[in-house]
Amino acid sequence: MRVVEVQADDRELIGKIYKNEIESFGAMGGADMWMIMSFIRYGKLYVLLDDEDNLLSVAQYQGIMGKNEAFLYGFSTSLKERGKGYGKILLEDTHKKLKKLGIDKVYLTVDPKNKVAIDMYEKNGYMIEELQKDEYGKGVHRYLMVKILM
Ligand SMILES: CC(C)(COP(=O)(O)OP(=O)(O)OC[C@H]1O[C@@H](n2cnc3c(N)ncnc32)[C@H](O)[C@@H]1OP(=O)(O)O)[C@@H](O)C(=O)NCCC(=O)NCCS
Which CATH number belongs to the domain containing residue 143 in this structure?
3.40.630.30
Residue-level pLDDT at 29: 82
- Residues 73-130 have pLDDT tens digits of 999 999 999 999 999 999 999 999 999 999 999 999 999 999 999 999 999 999 999 9
Distance from the CA of 111 to the center of ligand 1, in angstroms? Answer: 13
* Residue ranges lining ligand 1, Cβ < 6 Å: 24, 57, 75-77, 82-88, 110, 114, 116-117, 119-120, 123
Q: Does residue 42 carry a pLDDT above 90? A: yes
Is residue 28 pLDDT above 90, yes or no?
A: no
User: Is the pLDDT reported for residue 27 higher than 90?
Assistant: no
Domain total in the chain: 1
**66 CA → ligand 1 middle, Å:** 32
Determine the Cα–Cα distance for residues 70 and 134; give it in Å rounded to an integer. Answer: 22
Residue 140's domain comprises 2-148
**How far does residue 122's CA lie from ligand 1's centre (Å)?**
11
Q: Looking at 86-135, list the stretches that DSSP marks H as alpha helix, in order from N- to C-terminal side.
A: 86-100, 115-123
